[in-house]
């Protein structure tokens, strides 16, 4: 039943995409399209929520006679896909609401309007696909729709390059997934997920599928070293699409990872968790270090997505490790932490991209070095952005803290694991997670402080105006959800129970039964956290202090010039910039990770030339992996080029030689 409703929502979104092709040029078309996308997303969200909360553990399936002729198209909505559908449609609905205001400024609506609903439809379709063909079809649809959206401003600098890299990486990802499903299905070609699920696989197959799934879905999620496209492509799109790609599409990719590794691949083994854990730890730390070095606000956010994907992978890796050793309650804890972070990241990353979009609308700038002081003309959007920054920095009482806290709790039960590899790796990954969390706080102090605080660094920032009501309401909706998920985490954990039971057969204690709305992941004596009380305590003691002081001591206030140790400088260029804020961290971490080198050119005494300073940062992942592969492809293409200009006789002999080789190979093989 509910899967049919989602399918109808998908159909309406596709219908909307086709309508947009027809009416897209008319005035007011964008309002209609975005309003209807929002309504359809809300309907799908409600359906998924009902499925997750009202009938926990149940699933709803449907087969349509399309797709492969002997297979049909299987669709199913179980606990896992309904949770992810909640994430996707919540993000989709919020993005539609935001775009009602933001989309009005679009210069090329025909490049955005048809693809936006199609993108939403494809993401929903991936979640409900229940056979390999439908999954891959929807996955590719999702990639192509988002690629079209990335290319919507293709004449801007670097965007065409971003689109090209994205297209190559997306094709590579789909190819990997195609091979993964092919190996899973075996020679019989059983492509329905139900048929894939039951079979036992030998070691080599499991290892191969794991690697292919991590390459295919992991590249979409932005796992290092396959992240290179992400910080190029996500910021290139219009901001509401950036929010969808970073906040939501990466979650669909994580859904793909979970579906294949936890569900289809059968019982996990402990070494697979080592791979996932190591990838997660490296991704988290590198992602946030890249973000710290960035001066473009949207690219900073995209790199921080890489970091958060790493955190989610750490949770998933822990869940795999526990599951492989049969400690199901701990696996449920780790998986719940990962999924909670999926929800949290989709909320605050969408919010932050909306905020970046608001700053972009108001000033036309993404470069933080040319922004500053936006808190004065844009008080509302700066407040919402601040909430997002606090949440993503994992600070209590907001939601980001809860999921990281749960991950830490899962790490603390892992000494029970018997394998030595895990015993050594998990503390190291724990340290990486802690480091990433602390660097994230530094990174978002920079993002908020440079963009919104201080004095304006350009005329555009001085003349900024607050954005429209639709954009603000979308941002405040997400900010409110960040707060609610932070102070009432028990409800989210309870909602995730059926997912944990489905995937790892473990369950956490019932959080609704715990007094005072605390959360207790393992046992009361071991750890508990109460976001609501912490929030109330802070509000009460801060409010009390302010009230008492204003009442009893003084309330006098005088405005004056800044003190600045007696050396105030009227020029805003004397402020700290994004680059100078990051300098200490660049010097400590960047010398190793980025081979960062500072160059200072001092003119000789008496010379009137200016002193110059510049920083060399090298992206070792790009230089070590992408550039050689790209270079190899270039050289190979060059070498094979002359194959285009042969005579027909030569072509025939080549074909003949190849045939003989193939037959020989076959004969030897059999």
Touching another protein, residues 506-545 (CB under 8 A): 516, 518, 524-530, 533-534, 537-539, 541-543, 545
Site string for another protein, 444-473 (x = CB under 8 A): xxx-xxx--xxx------------------
301 or 389, CB closer to another protein? 389
CA distances from 224 to 221, 281, 286, 306, 622 (A): 9, 10, 8, 8, 11
- Residue 57 binds another protein, judged by CB under 8 A: no
Q: With contacts defined by CB under 8 A, how many residues of the chain interact with another protein?
A: 89
CB of 345 to another protein, least distance (A): 17
Is residue 669 classed exposed, middle or buried when 0-12, 13-18 and 19+ CB atoms within 10 A define those classes?
exposed
Q: Which is nearer to another protein, 445 or 460 (CB)?
A: 445
User: Which residues lie closer than 8 Å to 463 by C-beta, 6 or more apart?
Assistant: 363
Q: For residues 343 and 485, what is the distance between their CA atoms, to the nearest angstrom?
A: 9
584 binds another protein (CB under 8 A): yes
The Cα–Cα gap between 222 and 226 comes to 6
Q: Which of 66, 108, 512, 549 binds another protein (CB under 8 A)?
A: 549
Min CB(384)–another protein separation in Å: 13
**Site for another protein contains 308 (CB under 8 A):** no
Q: Which of 185, 318, 309 is nearest to 256 (CA)?
A: 309
Q: Toward another protein, which CB reaches closer, 554 or 607?
A: 554
Site map 624..663 versus another protein, x via CB under 8 A: ----------------------------------------
In whole angstroms, the minimum distance from the beta carbon of 546 to another protein comes to 5
Distance, in Å, from the CA atom of 357 to the CA atom of 481, rounded to the nearest integer, reads: 20
Shortest Å, Cβ 376 to another protein: 6
Which of 222, 388, 430, 489 is the binder for another protein (CB under 8 A)?
430
Q: Which of 566, 544, 546 is nearest to 555 (CA)?
A: 546
SS3 597: strand
- Segment 102-121, which members bind another protein (CB under 8 A)? none
| 392 phi, psi to nearest 5 deg | -75, -20
Q: How far, in Å, CA of 567 to CA of 628, rounded?
A: 51
Q: Does 437 bind another protein (CB under 8 A)?
A: yes
Beta carbon of residue 573, minimum distance to another protein (angstroms, whole number): 10
560 touches another protein (CB under 8 A): yes
Alpha-carbon gap, residue 206 to 183, rounded angstroms: 9
> Residue 34 Cβ, how far from another protein at the closest point, in Å?
32
Residue found under tokens 């690629």: 147
Closest CB to another protein among 161 and 580? 580
Q: Which is nearer to another protein, 465 or 587 (CB)?
A: 587
CB of 528 to another protein, least distance (A): 5
- Establish how many alpha carbons lie within 13 A of residue 156's alpha carbon, considering only the half-sphere containing its beta carbon: 17
Query: Cβ(301)–Cβ(357) under 8 Å?
Result: no
Residues 389-418 that bind another protein (CB under 8 A): 390, 393-396, 401, 405, 408-409, 411-412, 414-415
Between 6 and 378, CB nearer to another protein: 378
Q: How far apart are the first and last CA of the chain?
A: 49
Query: Rounded to whole angstroms, how far apart are CA atoms 385 and 366?
Result: 15
Binding mask 364-383 toward another protein (x if CB under 8 A, else -) reads --------xx-xx--x----
**Of 356 and 378, CB closest to another protein:** 378
CB–CB of 192/71 below 8 Å?
A: yes
583 is an interface residue for another protein by CB under 8 A: yes
CA distance 241 to 163: 14
Q: What are phi and psi of 289, to 5 degrees?
A: -70, -40
* DSSP letter assigned to residue 519: B
Which residues have CB under 8 Å from 539's CB, separation 6+?
Answer: none
Is residue 592 a contact residue for another protein (CB under 8 A)?
Answer: no
Under the binding rule (CB under 8 A), the answer on residue 554 touching another protein is yes
Give whichever of 63 and 442 is closer to another protein, judged by the CB atom.
442
| 580 binds another protein per the rule CB under 8 A | yes
* Min separation Cβ 182 and another protein, Å: 39
Q: Please, what is the minimum distance in Å from the beta carbon of residue 516 to another protein?
A: 8
Nearer CB in complex with another protein: 202/515? 515
d(CA 184, CA 264): 8
CB–CB of 408/430 below 8 Å? yes
In the bound state with another protein, the residue whose beta carbon lies nearer, of 225 and 509, is 509
Least separation in angstroms between residue 267's CB and another protein is 25
Q: What is the three-class DSSP state of 74?
A: strand
Using rule CB under 8 A, residue 565 touches another protein:
yes
Per DSSP, the three-state class of 613 is strand
């Amino acid at each position: 039943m509910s899967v049919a409703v989602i399918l109808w929502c998908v159909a309406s979104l596709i219908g909307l995409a086709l309508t947009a092709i027809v009416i897209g040029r008319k005035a007011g078309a964008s309002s209609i399209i975005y309003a209807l996308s929002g309504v359809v997303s809300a309907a799908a969200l409600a359906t998924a929520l009902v499925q997750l909360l009202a009938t926990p553990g149940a699933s709803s399936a449907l087969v349509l006679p399309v797709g492969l002729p002997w297979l049909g198209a299987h669709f199913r909505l179980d606990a896992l896909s309904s949770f992810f559908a909640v994430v996707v449609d919540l993000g989709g609905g919020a993005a539609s609401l935001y775009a009602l205001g933001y989309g009005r400024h679009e210069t090329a609506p025909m490049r955005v309007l048809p693809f936006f609903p199609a993108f939403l439809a494809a993401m929903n379709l991936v979640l409900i696909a229940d056979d390999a063909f439908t999954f891959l079809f929807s996955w590719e649809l999702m990639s192509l729709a988002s690629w079209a959206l990335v290319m919507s401003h293709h004449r801007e600098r670097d965007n065409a390059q971003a689109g090209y890299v994205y297209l190559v990486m997306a094709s590579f990802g789909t190819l990997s997934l195609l091979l993964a499903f092919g190996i899973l299905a075996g020679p019989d070609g059983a492509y329905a997920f139900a048929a894939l699920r039951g079979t036992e696989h030998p070691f080599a197959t499991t290892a191969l599928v794991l690697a292919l799934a991590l390459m295919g879905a992991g590249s979409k999620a932005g796992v290092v070293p396959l992240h290179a496209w992400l910080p190029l492509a996500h910021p290139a799109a219009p901001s509401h699409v950036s929010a969808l790609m970073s906040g939501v599409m990466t979650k669909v990719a994580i859904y793909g990872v979970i579906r294949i590794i936890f569900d289809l691949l059968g019982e996990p083994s402990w070494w697979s968790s080592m791979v996932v854990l190591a990838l997660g730890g490296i991704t988290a730390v590198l992602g946030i270090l890249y973000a710290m070095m960035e001066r473009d606000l949207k690219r900073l956010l995209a790199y921080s997505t890489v970091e958060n994907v790493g955190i989610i992978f750490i949770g998933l890796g822990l869940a795999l490790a526990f599951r492989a050793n049969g400690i199901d309650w701990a696996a449920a804890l780790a998986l719940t932490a990962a999924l909670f972070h999926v929800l949290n990241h989709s909320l605050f990353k969408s919010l932050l991209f909306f905020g970046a979009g608001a700053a972009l609308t108001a000033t036309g700038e993404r470069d933080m070095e040319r922004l500053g002081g936006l808190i004065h003309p844009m008080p509302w959007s700066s407040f919402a952005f601040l909430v997002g920054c606090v949440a993503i920095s994992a600070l209590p009482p907001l939601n980001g803290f809860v999921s990281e806290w749960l991950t830490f709790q899962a790490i603390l039960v892992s000494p029970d694991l018997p394998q030595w590899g895990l015993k050594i790796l998990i503390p190291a990954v724990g340290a990486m997670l802690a480091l990433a969390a602390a660097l994230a706080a530094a990174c978002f102090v920079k993002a908020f402080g440079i963009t919104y605080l201080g004095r304006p660094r350009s005329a555009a920032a001085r003349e900024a105006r607050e954005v429209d009501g639709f954009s603000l309401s979308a941002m405040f909706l997400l900010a409110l959800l960040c707060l609610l998920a932070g102070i009432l985490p028990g409800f989210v954990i309870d909602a995730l129970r059926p997912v944990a039971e489905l995937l790892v057969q473990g369950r956490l204690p019932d959080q609704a039964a715990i007094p005072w709305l605390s959360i207790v992941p393992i046992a009361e004596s071991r750890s508990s956290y109460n976001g609501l009380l912490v929030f109330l305590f802070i509000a009460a003691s801060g409010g009390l202090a302010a009230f008492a002081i204003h009442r009893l001591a003084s309330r006098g206030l005088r405005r004056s010039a800044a003190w600045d140790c007696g050396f105030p400088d009227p020029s805003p260029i004397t402020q700290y910039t994004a680059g100078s804020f990051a300098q200490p961290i660049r010097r400590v971490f960047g010398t190793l990770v980025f081979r960062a080198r500072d160059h200072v050119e001092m003119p000789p005494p008496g010379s009137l030339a200016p002193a110059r300073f510049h920083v060399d940062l090298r992206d070792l992942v790009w230089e070590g992996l992408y550039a050689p592969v790209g270079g190899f492809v270039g050289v190979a293409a060059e070498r094979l080029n002359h194959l285009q200009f042969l005579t027909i006789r030569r072509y025939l002999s080549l074909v003949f030689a190849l045939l003989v080789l193939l037959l020989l190979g076959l004969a030897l093989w059999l």
